[in-house]
Amino acid sequence: MGKRLLIGRKLRNTQLGETLLPKRIALPVFASDALSSVAYAPDEIFLVLSAAGVAYYTLSWKIGLCVALVMLVVIASYRQNVQAYQSGGGDYEVATTNVGSTAGLTVASALIVDYVLTVAVSISSAAQYAAAAIEPVQGHQATVAILAVVFLMTMNLRGVRESGTVFAIPTYVFIVAVFSMAIWGFFRYFRGTLPQSELAGYSIQGTQTIAGGFGSMALVFLVLRAFASGSAALTGVEAISNSVPAFRKPKGKNAATTLLLLGVIAVMMGLSILVLGNLMHVRLAEVHNGVRLVDPQGDLVPVDFHQDPLIGQLAKGVFDHFPIGFYVVAAATGIILVLAANTAFNGFPVLASILSGDGYLPRQLHTRGDRLAFSNGIVLLAGFAILLIYVFDAEVTKLIQLYIVGVFVSFTLSQTGMVRHWTRLLRTETDGAERMRMRRSRVVNSIGLSVTALVLVIVLVTKFTHGAWIAITAMAVLFFIMRGIRHHYELVASELAAGEGDTSLPSRIHAIVLVSKVHKPTLRAVAYARASRPSTLEALTVHVDDETTEQLMARWDETGLPVPLRVLASPYREITKPILEYVRDIRRRSPRDIVAVYIPEYIVGRWWEQLLHNQTALRLKSRLLFTPGVMVTSVPFQLRSSAAAEERAERELHVAGGVRRGLIRQRRRDDDDR
């Protein structure tokens, strides 16, 4: 009942088409990650530049232009991807098909790490914005972030379409709020009424001295590091290529249109925020690297001094005469950052399902849940994200150093695969117009390959010692784990493959019924074993107490069953070991024979009763299952409490809507079948 309340009623397989998304819903569902990056990517540019002092903030908008150019190139490239590969494999499928399984698995490892970090970074950033607007949240950002992940997990377990409908309105509110702030801010600037930010009077005590000024190598490295951090704005682009099956037809065209809308909106918002930040003289200090703010009196501010994020500082200034505007922007930004993680919640489960189908991840990730969502993948992603948030205490600046390495690895290998894809098709294509289209697509993907490879090198060089090595290590560990899983499944398939001699019957079947007492469960097990007509049948008990054994033998004789009772000696009062040794001895004497062990069990209906019964049977089954040539059969006997549990389940069906949902009719059909 609780599960149905949280995630809703089950959906049939035939209802999968009802979950497909139109473009107006797909944009907030799959593009919220890239759109939300304007809430932290500009901050990271300012934070990195703060190491050299306020004077170098003027480079921020130029770095932003470079990031915007890279984003437009990547989006143009991925518009080719989504139309050429629409199965949902995205970068993994492109790399595997055109470059090889090793490249595909590398992409998969990178994307998995990136998806987990997307959730952790977005939710942590949302918690920071919540702390800016709500004072009691300050100091409890990690707790708030973890609760937000649980909320997102629950919503996504309800299904893609339902979660998308819920998330669409806040995403559009965020877009309108940021554009309204930017337009009003520029309007006030041209009128000469734009105020400075609340920290404009502060200066910054940096940690990096740029010898030689704007022409030095130290500055070049600083700018490259700021560019690498600002490139976090590109995360989320790949999620659309992994989610093409969720679009309505024509899937490829709709996904390409959504990518174009994403690029235009994200670039315009990001550049507007960077320019406004310079016009209003915002201040952001990278405190964890030793950079400190200095107040107008020349005193260093405390290390725990609360700095509002960039958008928070802008909104406070732009809407200084209209406080409601600030709260709308802050609330919309916080919400979009939570929803940004929804992109990963839609992309990761699909990718995990494909990897599972290829044998690289556990089979459980391949199946859909009650709401036709990949429930196991959703829960797994939430668990890893919560772990990261807890370990890094929801600090975005620490998490961002692990970020974007994975996504640029996948970008680069994917574009390599697309170049090979078009080259392969051009070898056989004879139509002139189609060849021209393929050549144009190859040029676009070649440019995308060059740009993303260059950015990947910059990210690796500038971020490796700042935490990127952790992400690279995680990718390597995932790569070898998935290779190991695939190897395991291949070994299992090889062992399970049927041979010529596997259809032959065993020489004999030795049936054994385990007996502890002469009661109804035991007699039912004996009857069932006799009905199976084995070659030999005997009852087996273990002698641990003289009086108990004598009473058992006497009762057995009274039943008059034509089944001999064998008593095994156990001087140390063990139950499991003597039975195992006896069964294995039969197997050693007759390797071509089968030993069938029947274990009588009584079934209880209350959870606490499970703790009081069946422990010996459970231990025996767990040990016998690992004994070659032994078949284990549990013979259940339901007690009154289990019957009561069944009655309670029956009553739960008679609730409002039970007939409409078909639950009661289904139960009646099941009863008739029995």
pLDDT tens digits for range 205-232: 766 666 555 556 777 888 888 888 888 7
Q: Average the pLDDT over 294-317 and give the result.
A: 83
Tokens 């998995």 sit at which residue?
112
Q: How would you list the strands of the sheet with 630-638, edge to edge? A: 565-569, 536-543, 509-514, 594-603, 630-638
570 forms bridges with which residues in the sheet?
none
Neighbours of 522 (CB within 10 A): 25
Query: Measuring CA to CA, how many Å separate 488 from each of 96, 107, 360?
Result: 20, 21, 9
pLDDT of residue 373: 59
- Which residue from 556, 572, 573, 569 is spatially nearest to 513, judged by alpha carbons? 556
**Where would I find the beta strands (DSSP E) of 500-562?**
509-514, 536-543
The answer, yes or no, to whether residue 34 has pLDDT greater than 80, is no
The answer, yes or no, to whether residue 512 has pLDDT greater than 90, is yes
The answer, yes or no, to whether residue 127 has pLDDT greater than 90, is no
- The structural domains of the chain, ordered by start, are 2-489 (1.20.1740.10), 508-638 (3.40.50.620)
The answer, yes or no, to whether residue 52 has pLDDT greater than 90, is no
Instruction: Give exposure, 150-170, as e/b (b: 16+ Cβ within 10 Å).
Output: eebbebbbbbbbbbbeebbeb
CB 525 within 8 A of CB 600: yes
DSSP 127: H
Per the model's pLDDT, the better-predicted residue between 558 and 235 turns out to be: 558
Distance in angstroms (rounded) separating the CA atoms of residues 532 and 631: 13
Q: How confident is the model at residue 660 (pLDDT cuts 50, 70, 90)?
A: very low
pLDDT of residue 207: 64
pLDDT tens digits for range 128-185: 767 766 777 777 788 888 888 888 888 777 654 455 566 678 888 999 999 999 999 9
Q: Average the pLDDT over 380-403 and give the result.
A: 80
Highest mean pLDDT: which range of 84-98, 250-264, 328-342: 250-264
- Which residue from 276, 325, 34 is spatially nearest to 173, judged by alpha carbons? 325
Report the percentage of the chain scoring pLDDT > 90: 21
- CB burial class (10 A; 0-12, 13-18, 19+) of residue 402? buried
pLDDT of residue 159: 58
Q: Average the pLDDT over 318-330 and give the result.
A: 90
CB 359 within 8 A of CB 254: no
The answer, yes or no, to whether residue 94 has pLDDT greater than 80, is yes
Distance in angstroms (rounded) separating the CA atoms of residues 95 and 76: 18
H or E stretch at 635: strand 630-638
CB 157 within 8 A of CB 373: yes
pLDDT of residue 7: 46
The answer, yes or no, to whether residue 187 has pLDDT greater than 90, is yes
Highest mean pLDDT: which range of 217-221, 341-345, 375-379: 375-379
**Where would I find the beta strands (DSSP E) of 150-280?**
203-205
The answer, yes or no, to whether residue 661 has pLDDT greater than 60, is no
Q: How confident is the model at residue 295 (pLDDT cuts 50, 70, 90)?
A: confident
pLDDT tens digits for range 538-579: 999 999 888 889 999 999 999 899 999 999 998 877 888 899
Distance in angstroms (rounded) separating the CA atoms of residues 101 and 80: 21
Q: How confident is the model at residue 523 (pLDDT cuts 50, 70, 90)?
A: very high
Q: How confident is the model at residue 1 (pLDDT cuts 50, 70, 90)?
A: very low
Q: How confident is the model at residue 12 (pLDDT cuts 50, 70, 90)?
A: very low
The answer, yes or no, to whether residue 70 has pLDDT greater than 60, is yes
Q: Average the pLDDT over 453-472 and give the result.
A: 82
The answer, yes or no, to whether residue 245 has pLDDT greater than 90, is no
The answer, yes or no, to whether residue 3 has pLDDT greater than 70, is no
Q: To the nearest whole number, what is the mean pLDDT of the chain?
A: 81
* Residues 6 or more apart in contact with residue 278 via CB below 8 angstroms: 57, 58, 60, 61
| Dihedral (CA of 473, 479, 483, 484) sign | positive
Highest mean pLDDT: which range of 42-51, 189-198, 657-666: 189-198
Highest mean pLDDT: which range of 337-341, 419-423, 544-548: 419-423
Distance in angstroms (rounded) separating the CA atoms of residues 158 and 506: 49
The answer, yes or no, to whether residue 64 has pLDDT greater than 80, is yes
Query: Measuring CA to CA, how many Å separate 40 from each of 118, 137, 308?
Result: 12, 19, 12
Give me the numbers of helices (H) and strands (E) for the chain, helices first please: 25, 7
Neighbours of 148 (CB within 10 A): 26
Whole-angstrom Cα Rg for the chain: 32
Q: Which amino acid belongs to residue 66?
A: C
Q: How confident is the model at residue 476 (pLDDT cuts 50, 70, 90)?
A: very high
Tokens 């016009």 sit at which residue?
279
Q: How confident is the model at residue 501 (pLDDT cuts 50, 70, 90)?
A: low
pLDDT of residue 644: 55
Q: How confident is the model at residue 276 (pLDDT cuts 50, 70, 90)?
A: very high
pLDDT of residue 13: 38
Q: At what angle do helices 160-191 and 323-357 cross, to 10 degrees?
A: 140
Check residue 574 and give left, alpha or beta (phi > 0: left; psi -120 to 50: alpha).
Answer: beta
Per the model's pLDDT, the better-predicted residue between 8 and 521 turns out to be: 521
